[in-house]
Amino acid sequence: MNKTIDLTINREGLAHNIQKAKENNIIIPTIAQMQNPDLIPEKIKEKLSHTGLWDVDPVNLFRINWHNEAKESGGLYQKTPNYVEIPSSVSGVPCRILAMSGKWFPTGCHKVGASFGCLAPRLVTGQFDATYHHAVWPSTGNYCRGGAFNSKLLACDSVAILPQDMSKERFDWLKQIAGQIIATPGCESAPVVGFIAHVDTSPDMSGKDVRPRTIEEYDGGDIVLSEGIVSSPKKFPELLAHKGEDLIVTDGHTLLGADDKAGIAEIVQAMCWLRDHDEIKHGDIRMGFNPDEEIGMGAHHFNVEKFGCQWAYTIDGGDLGDLEYENFNAAAAKININGVSVHPGFAKGKMVNASMLATELAGMMPADERPETTEGYEGFYHLLGIESNTEHAKMSYIIRDHDRKKFEDRKKFIVSVVDKMNEKYGEGTVEIAVNDQYYNMKEKIDPNMHVIDIVLKAMELCGVPPKVQPIRGGTDGAQLSFKGLPCPNIFTGGVNFHGPYEFVSIQVMEKAMQTVVKICELTAGFND
């Protein structure tokens, strides 16, 4: 096997390289000079005495050896190479062990020598033509760094293929040195951050033909939405927090749709701002606008891997400063009741009225554990609806609790109620199916609290007082967090969602947009 370097001369390529070297004042050291720096001309040494290891200057090609002085700038050479000897008394072996130190190579990287050894023979033979060839440097870091630097010194175009988990410092430096960067997902200096909002609106009220209008400099009084429909601070005192601001309201016949059209608008406007302000440094950013959040199924189909973010934020919260990373654990219970229909005139001892059994079952549920009687971290059972007649009834419950154990206990309790009904009326009279919907994202956020720290800092810098509180509901961020994408929820400015009294403050929307921009900027400087 021939292990020698191919020294076949390509005359045309060599001529091009010589011309380029002349144009860029490039002198390539000989192998003898690299072995013995005493052979390096004095005029080169003079220039080196004023040149730093990191300077992009062809003269640094003469520092690709093991004899450089231990100086960041202006160093020349020493007789003894840069090594540390490990004595036998330490190593336990009867031979000399030398550990070479590559810190004092150009860029502080010993792989600058290895990459030079790959590129230089091809240049001096003309096999690599610097007028149209590109030097490609794939590596875990040092080799890529050394190769890109050598290419710059030798006036060659380079391509840096960057791996995952490269440090911010090294990434930023390579962006300045390499001619082109091919970035492996996750290699960027800044983590990839995402912002998500949902495009659907609540089915609780019509979102068709919304007729919004703006109340400029709201004076704190009643807002007449339509004849006979008034949004009043007496009923909605949260209006007063927005006195003097410009409020977008409905005409009283539809919801507004700020949940979550406001979130979409804020994300898009933030991206426009970043586009127009190059002075704001940021890494890669992803946006996701998904359907069916309101019915809880959209996030099931969200491709977290393809989204390619380390973390994200749903812009789907309420009023100014709302920050949520705790939500309910959620389940749905479907109950079927099988009655016996008999003519009421002949019903005694025969009829089993499914409608009455439904009301009996509802009465067995805790009266003080309903949505209308709970707040904060208190969980509940919520009867969504009953469809019934004598022969058959259907009941729909949702079960909610922030605490995972209490959540599991609640599911067991409603099953026990059904069991008691069957003990009384016969097995099979009542049937139940309980299905989990989503879980408390806090389980996944707690190990990643930097995600919260960043948004808290962003709010502080934007003059937004944070209000950290649990969500008494769900969010796409819950499902996404359990799919591997930590995803807390940030305010949009919307208030009174899902009804005709919904409104949003333009000024708060601007604050939400500014917070998104600041998160992008802070994430660029994040280094765990």
Residues 6+ apart with CB under 8 A from 186: 164, 165, 192, 308, 310
From residue 8, alpha-carbon distances to 11, 42, 123, 125, 488 in Å are 9, 32, 11, 6, 61
Q: Are 51 and 60 in contact (CB under 8 A)?
A: yes
Q: Residue 482: how many CA atoms within 13 Å on its side-chain side?
A: 16
Q: Give the pLDDT score at 1.
A: 47
Under the phi-then-psi rule, with left for phi > 0, alpha for psi from -120 to 50, and beta for the rest, what region is 74?
left
Mind listing the pLDDT tens digit of every residue in the chain (528 residues)?
Answer: 456 778 899 999 999 999 999 999 999 999 999 999 999 999 999 999 999 998 999 999 999 988 999 888 999 999 888 878 888 888 888 888 888 777 888 888 888 888 999 999 999 999 999 998 999 988 756 788 888 999 999 999 998 887 666 666 677 778 788 888 776 655 455 788 999 999 999 888 999 999 999 999 999 999 999 999 999 999 999 999 999 999 999 999 999 999 999 999 999 999 999 999 988 888 889 999 999 887 767 888 899 999 989 999 999 999 999 999 999 999 999 999 999 999 999 999 999 999 999 999 999 999 999 999 999 999 999 999 999 999 999 999 999 999 999 999 999 999 999 999 999 999 999 999 999 988 999 999 999 999 999 999 999 999 999 999 998 877 889 889 999 999 999 999 999 999 999 999 999 999 999 999 999 999 987 755
When the candidates are 3.40.50.10860, 3.30.70.360, 3.40.50.300, 3.40.50.620, the CATH number that belongs to 329-436 is 3.30.70.360
CATH number of 193-326+441-524: 3.40.630.10
User: Would 193-326+441-524 and 329-436 be classified into the same CATH topology?
Assistant: no
Instruction: Say if strands 157-162 and 180-183 run parallel, antiparallel, or are unpaired.
Output: parallel
Each domain of the chain, given as residue ranges in start order, spans: 11-135, 193-326+441-524, 329-436
Q: Residue 351: how many CA atoms within 13 Å on its side-chain side?
A: 16
The Cα–Cα gap between 198 and 203 comes to 14
Residues labelled catalytic: 200, 293
The Cα–Cα gap between 422 and 398 comes to 21
